[in-house]
Chains A and B, each alone.
Chain A
Amino acid sequence: MEVHKPFIFRNGVLLVSIEIDVKGVSKSYGKTKVLRDIHLQIQRGQIYGLIGPSGSGKTTLVKLIVGIDSADEGDVEVFGIKMPNLDLLQDIGYMAQSDALYLELTGYENLAFFASLYPMKKTEMKKRIAYAAELVKLTGELKKKVSAYSGGMKRRLSLAIALVHDPKILILDEPTVGIDPELRLSIWNELMHLKNEHQKTILITTHVMDEAEKCDIVAMVRNGALIKNGSPDDLKAAYGANQLEEVFLQAGREQS
């Protein structure tokens, strides 16, 4: 089933092409409230950054969007369809915060396994694997078992796996942790390319401010609440700040 509903009309007027719509989501683990009434909308072809200190609830929010965890209140819609939805998962490439890889298998076998969970022809699959591996500069290491990979290599393989089925939406949870600055830059360039040339929608979490600067929209998360969102420039202008970091600190003070 081809699920594609990128445009939202109201009264026959095209509003925006919202691909991810988080509607008042709350979540608690036991007594601790981890997410408080989060609303956010992500448009097609946007790089949307979730920034916040560790423990602020970014991973939890991302999991709710992918549908591998469920909210206590509120809904998540992707392409206007409520998650979780198996067909929609076809269009999502997810990279978890902790590398979920099969250590006994080689890099290639890991990629091939995840690729074979999506409908894809053999030749197409080979091409996609080669492309994804090249993107993260792992082509030469694919024959090695993942147990022999370094932390950064595992991170890159996880990213390649998220890309391997050519999804419309990429959801990346701290994708650049443990990756050296040079490769980090080349990965960001590639993400920009995916966004500009292929109209991919990218949701990325980070706790590094200079990465947040590169996003089209930044959402600041603190203590499970979304305290501010907007384009980096708008946010800085609103607070008269030079750095996003200042905005984050000031907005945090306002909240508490």
Chain B
Amino acid sequence: MRVQALIKRIIKQMLRDKRTLALLFFAPLIVLTLMYFFFNGNGNEAEIGIADVDKRLVALLEERDIHIEYVEAADSQTVIEAELDGLLTDENGALKLILLNDDPSVARSILVQVNQALLMQNAAVGGDAPTLETDYIYGSGDTEFFDVLSPVLIGFFVFFFVFLISGIGLLKERTSGTLERLMATPIRRWELVAAYLAGFGLFAVIQTVIVVSFSVVVLDVVLVGSIWHVILTNLLLALVALSLGTLLSSFASSEFQMVQFIPIIVIPQIFFAGIFPVEGMAEWLQGIGRIMPIYYAADALKGVMYKGLGLADISRDLLALCIFALVFIVLNVFALKKHRKL
């Protein structure tokens, strides 16, 4: 009953704050779109040569907006002479992809498209997936940076905006004195925390669905696995962000101090999100990564979106996120003891 009244009030306040709503719902879309154009270049106009490849696979590739040129000889020279971006050949069942790689974003796009086409064909035909060997004419296959970027970015933006807005929401309640005033009513501390989770959680759910759908439908980011698993992962991450934001707001005494948490708490998490290879880091640094919620979310998102992993494969990451959320929620209830012992 009291929780309900609180939730109603939080929603009403949010709906009247158009700027914050815009920040929550549109800012991530704008940044994602910018990132998309920044990194994706003209990836969709790739042209590849095909020699002796299964017709069904070729058809799948054509569906994916890849220009197909049938060629006879199959070596690097053909690619350069015919001004192609890549060349796909079948050598006794072993697929080989030669990529020009003069523009890594194009090469990456082709690789992803071919991989997805292969997965789809395999799903239709069954049996063992054919191996795909990749050769680069220029540079090497170190283009993973771009591949993993979009899942990580989606997770990061969900985390960042939910963290900021829920944190500032509870902070406003503190600085305006209304939190103390609430403590002079028979409300229980857990009721307050539950209402904040539910009230802001509602907006976090809407934001997550908007961001994920926009990324997948409009920006056409790589999504091999299920969109539901992407949404689920992001929802859990949003819950972590929500509970962490409200928790940290009890250590801030102004909006500005809340913003000061961004470089301390939020930015470092990007470094452990897998944009930079974690394996290459010092042991102790990797240890720090383990206590960062985004590390787990990014791992799950990359798994689902890029590698096509299922729920069972990411369950450990999801469990980690649940534990984070639970710990932060309990700490929230304790943090309110500052205002009333009971």
Contact = CB atoms under 8 A, between A and B. Distances in A.
A98 B5 CA distance: 23
B193 to A, nearest CB: 15
A113 B13 CA distance: 12
B280 interface: no
A116 B177 contact: no
Contact of A100 (B9, B177, B188): B177
By DSSP majority rule, is chain A's interface helix, strand, loop, or mixed?
loop
A68 B342 contact: no
A101 B186 contact: no
A90 B183 contact: no
Contacts of A103: 176
A85 B342 CA distance: 7
Interface string A78-94: 00000011110110101
A115 to B, nearest CB: 9
Contact of B186 (A89, A109, A113): A89
A118 B1 CA distance: 9
B255 to A, nearest CB: 15
Nearest to B4: A116
Contacts of A105: 9, 12-13, 16
B185 A84 contact: no
Contacts of B180: 68, 96, 100
Nearest to B176: A100
B91 interface: no
A119 B5 CA distance: 12
Nearest to B15: A104
B341 A96 contact: no
Interface in B154-198: 176-178, 180-188
Nearest to B178: A100
A239 interface: no
B342 A84 contact: yes
A195 B184 CA distance: 22
Nearest to A112: B5
Nearest to A109: B12
A43 B183 CA distance: 24
A116 B2 contact: yes
B186 A68 contact: no
B56 interface: no
B5 A113 contact: yes
Contacts of B283: none
A114 B8 CA distance: 12
Interface residues of B, number: 25
B147 to A, nearest CB: 43
B171 to A, nearest CB: 14
A118 B17 contact: no
Interface in B299-342: 339-342
Contacts of B9: 102, 105, 109, 113
Nearest to A85: B342
Nearest to A113: B9
A67 interface: yes
B12 A116 contact: no
Interface in A142-184: none
Nearest to A116: B5
Contacts of A37: none
Contacts of A113: 5, 8-9
A85 B337 CA distance: 13
A122 B306 CA distance: 54
Given A70-B341, A86-B188, A117 B177 contact: no
Contacts of A210: none
A86 B186 contact: yes
A116 B1 contact: yes
A68 B302 CA distance: 47
Given A102-B13, A102-B178, A104-B17, A118 B340 contact: no
29 contacts: A67-B340, A68-B339, A84-B341, A86-B186, A86-B342, A87-B186, A89-B184, A89-B185, A89-B186, A92-B184, A96-B177, A96-B184, A100-B177, A100-B180, A100-B181, A101-B178, A102-B9, A102-B178, A103-B176, A104-B17, A105-B12, A109-B12, A116-B5, A117-B2, A117-B5, A117-B185, A117-B187, A118-B186, A119-B1
Given A100-B178, A104-B13, 19 more contacts: A67-B340, A68-B183, A86-B186, A87-B186, A89-B184, A94-B181, A96-B181, A99-B177, A102-B9, A102-B176, A102-B178, A103-B176, A105-B12, A105-B16, A116-B1, A117-B5, A117-B187, A118-B186, A119-B1
